[in-house]
Amino acid sequence: MFSPEPGAMGVDDDTPIALLAFDHRERNFSSVRPTGMTDDEIRRSKELIFDAFEVVVEGGLHGVRPGIIVDEEFGAPLARRAVESGIAVAMPVEKASQDVFTFEYGDAFREHLREFRPAFAKALVRYRVTDPADHRRIQRERLRELSDFVAGEPIALMLELIVGQRADGPDAIPTVDVDGLCASMAELQDAGVHVDVWKVEGTSSQEDAAQIVAQARLADANARCVVLGAGAPRDTVSRWLDVSAATPGYGGFAIGRSIWGESIVAWLDGTRRREQAIEEIASTCRRWAQQYVGERIR
């Protein structure tokens, strides 16, 4: 089990985590704005998001531990500042927008993780048991390589496993394909991929959420799940938060665009002052953290 350095956040702590995610690289980050963004606009936007996060931390959060997910490409200085301050940081190791999981820095991923010393190495993988066998095999081998490495480091593995969502009707809240997700989790577990935190798409059913936790804990009784935002509308994310908070084995959320997308676009387009955008992002993050805690203790 992961043993954190002083000031870091361990996965064996029952306190739920509230992770503000802005590790999206160029295409995914700029997708929130129809006109796109330059590299400089992406960097400045991430600085603004981090400033909003600091507002959340300074204001205090009862019952949750705040943290961030940020990339090296556009956010290296922010990651260093957060780690040095004892903030829990997750950093992606995957190359963006790939159908098959590929290390961003190839075999040098170890050196990059050791340089930044994040609490979590985060790997995003699109993996379904119906995918081509060769694709699945390659991804299992690479994720096992990552898992074996972090097992010997003060770093935990956060796996963002994307299988897709469904909606059972025109007005239904979208929900993850639970059977597909659990089957994918099982294949990775059988391949020896040890996951500390499963970052998963949301569900509107507590029964489904409990099934996901049960699968996560088949291989490790201490594993936990966090719900992601998937850029979904806020009412959808709110429902996912309520369900996950009420389900033992879930340990918080990791949400990005659903928190900061609208405010960043308005700021770049000149319809929000920087201070307004910061407060909007901080307020949404704080509100959802409080909502999560409130539902969890009912």
For 94-136, what is each residue's pLDDT tens digit? 999 899 999 999 999 999 999 999 999 999 999 999 999 999 9
- Sequence-distant (6+) residues with CB within 8 A of 36 are 30
* Mean pLDDT along residues 256-270: 97
This prediction's pTM: 0.93
Segments forming the whole domain that contains residue 201? 17-296
Tokens coding 22:
């802005």
Query: Does a structural domain hold residue 4?
Result: no
Of the candidates 215, 251, 194, the residue with the CA atom closest to the CA atom of residue 1: 194
Domains contained in the chain, number: 1
| Burial class of 46 by CB neighbour count within 10 A (0 to 12, 13 to 18, 19+) | buried
- Sequence-distant (6+) residues with CB within 8 A of 106 are none
pLDDT at 145: 98
**Which pLDDT band holds residue 8 (cuts at 50, 70, 90)?**
very low
Query: Does a structural domain hold residue 9?
Result: no
* Mean pLDDT along residues 58-77: 94
CA–CA separation, 82 and 77 (whole Å) = 9
Query: Does a structural domain hold residue 197?
Result: yes
Query: Does a structural domain hold residue 11?
Result: no
Query: Does a structural domain hold residue 219?
Result: yes
The CATH number linked to 27 is: 3.20.20.70
- Sequence-distant (6+) residues with CB within 8 A of 186 are 215, 218
Say whether pLDDT at 298 is over 90. no
Query: Does a structural domain hold residue 6?
Result: no
Say whether pLDDT at 12 is over 70. no
Query: Does a structural domain hold residue 10?
Result: no
Query: Does a structural domain hold residue 12?
Result: no
Query: pLDDT by residue (tens digit) across 45-58?
Result: 999 999 999 999 99
CA–CA separation, 46 and 41 (whole Å) = 9
3-state secondary structure 64-105: CEEEEEECHHHHHHHHHHHHHCCCEEEEECECCCCCCCCECC
